[in-house]
Chain A
Amino acid sequence: MTDNVDIIPHQDAIIRLENVSKRFGDLIVLDDVSMSFERGRTTAIIGPSGTGKSVLLKHLVGLLQPDSGHVWIGDVDMAVANEKLKYATRRRFGMLFQDGALFDSMSAGDNVAFPLLHHTTMSAEERRAKAEEKLALVELKGLYDRPTPALSGGQRKRVGLARAIIMEPEIVLFDEPNSGLDPLTSDTIDELIGKMKAALGITFIVITHDIVSAEAIADRVGMLWKGKLVAYQETSKFVHSTDPVVKRFLERNLGHRW
């Protein structure tokens, strides 16, 4: 561990990665990563593209298995959990995928209501009402019946966001909520995340390669670089980091955005 990784006490952690390693063929993507995520707070993970940020996120929900190490969600180890336990644990999560991962054959609203259809006994009207409420929360009021292919990039993300929170999960994961969006739309998404943070008390984990966005929404920032967690601190401390790798990344990234 370097000086740039501040330890989170056990009792504050809702998720703990212990010595997680993952490789694809000869490519080592995660190299002995240990880190915890605090309950009820927002953590951003930054790093250049291709460093394994998405791979890390997929380990949390058991879409990928580590070659070695543990992924503790509460007292469930997703690294070894059987399918049944994995599916049960996933009910605690909501996730926004990089391009929304919406189903094109359904309307925007039916996408949002999809988890309700599968996990509740709500009637069609109740599902619609609930989905409309979440659509309003992401400022897409009235778009329930819009066909998914007709949505813009920013709208797709917001629909994905509404779907991610419809089951009122404890933990919400975001994979690059700002990628592919213009700065203005991107700020709107950040504001939405901020709004939900205040209102819902959820644990958010946000992956981004945009430090401005990370600074805007996160309580804590971690940086992945070449398969390692090179820094992990409170946001205010992180942005003034003296670590050469972090500094270089921050400077480049800020220069890029402004």
Chain B
Amino acid sequence: MNTLLTLGQFGIFAGRVVRSSFTHKLPVARTIEEAYRIGVRSLPILLVISFFVGTNLALQGYVAFRPMGAQQMLGMFVGLAGVRELAPIMVAAMVSAKAGTEMASQIAVMRIREQIDALEVMAVDPYVYLVTPRFLGIVLVLPALTIISIATLIGSAWLVTVYQLGEPGGPFLALVWNTTSGTDLMVAGIKGGLFGSFICAVSCFCGFTSPPGPAGVGRATNAAVVISAVCCAILNYFVSEVAYG
């Protein structure tokens, strides 16, 4: 019952954002600002995590294929698992942890300190002012982050393959190249954009509906990460099912 009520509220929230966005001038400058912020802030952690997921992909692939004497299949393994599945969901997790929590807590603080009310009284639509630029920013930037994550992951897997496992690097890259098509990259990018829109919508919604007080901000922020991570994981399954099933 409570969940249904919240879903209803979320629907109303999303509807207001969409309607307000279409009836106002697009905040171009602030969108670029947000995109830059989300991208730049999430990049370091994303690079580190992608790098070390790539290394382990190579290690585990090697462990799995070597007994069959098929260690040259490593490239295929990295291509399929890394590019198609791991990179997009990893980016989603990182961005929801970094940018999503920031959105939720910033907006929640504005809610409990009456700054959102103040925006409305000053006749500035808070949906357009607070949500639209964040939404467009994240949707613009997530596909790019996903591609960067993919490149990092392949690079680190290559490093491990060549310098640690002593396998030839050329065939590895050739296999990665052959198993991943342009479509794969496109699907990964689309996943990124889709995850981004969910992360933003959920995080902003949690902020807007923050319970009162500092404890409320904490709860809103927490709910934002948990819900957006779960949404992205479920969504990931369905997109993969549609694209590859």
Contacts and interface: CB of A to CB of B under 8 A. Distances in A.
Interface of A: 58, 61-63, 87-88, 90-91, 93-95, 97-99, 101-103, 114-115, 118-119, 163
Interface string B110-127: 100111011011111100
Nearest to B117: A63
Interface in B92-136: 110, 113-115, 117-118, 120-125
A27 to B, nearest CB: 14
Nearest to A114: B122
A98 B114 contact: yes
A93 B114 contact: no
Contacts of B125: 87
B131 to A, nearest CB: 15
Interface of B: 110, 113-115, 117-118, 120-125
Contacts of A102: 115
A99 B112 CA distance: 11
A90 B114 contact: no
A101 B118 contact: yes
Contact of A93 (B110, B115, B121): B121
Contact of B118 (A62, A97, A118): A97
B123 A101 contact: no
Contacts of A95: 118, 121
Contacts of A99: 113-114
A94 B120 CA distance: 11
A93 B113 CA distance: 20
A49 to B, nearest CB: 15
B123 A63 contact: no
Contacts of B113: 99, 101
16 contacts: A61-B121, A62-B120, A63-B117, A87-B123, A91-B123, A93-B121, A95-B118, A97-B114, A97-B118, A98-B114, A101-B115, A101-B117, A101-B118, A103-B115, A119-B123, A163-B122
Contacts of B115: 101-103
Contacts, number: 43
B208 to A, nearest CB: 13
Contacts of A114: 122, 124
A73 B121 CA distance: 14
A161 B154 CA distance: 57
Given A63-B117, A90-B120, 17 more contacts: A63-B121, A87-B125, A90-B121, A90-B122, A90-B123, A91-B123, A94-B121, A97-B114, A97-B118, A99-B114, A101-B117, A101-B118, A103-B110, A103-B115, A115-B123, A118-B122, A163-B122
B5 to A, nearest CB: 13
Q: What are the 6 closest A-B residue pairs judged by CB atoms, nearest first?
A: A101-B118, A101-B114, A90-B123, A95-B121, A97-B114, A87-B123
Contacts of B121: 61, 63, 90, 93-95
B117 A115 contact: no
Nearest to B106: A105
Most buried by B among A93, A101, A103, A114: A101
A135 B218 CA distance: 35
B120 A115 contact: no
Contacts of A93: 121
Contacts of A61: 120-121
Contacts of B123: 87-88, 90-91, 115, 118-119
Contacts of B124: 114-115, 118
B119 to A, nearest CB: 9
A103 to B, nearest CB: 6
Contacts of A163: 122
A115 B125 CA distance: 12
A87 B122 CA distance: 8
A63 B116 CA distance: 10
A88 B110 CA distance: 23
A225 B113 CA distance: 25
A115 B123 CA distance: 8
Nearest to A103: B115
Contacts of A97: 114, 117-118
Contacts of A58: 117
A94 B113 CA distance: 17
A65 B120 CA distance: 14
A86 B118 CA distance: 14
A115 B122 contact: yes
Contacts of B118: 95, 97, 101
A22 to B, nearest CB: 16
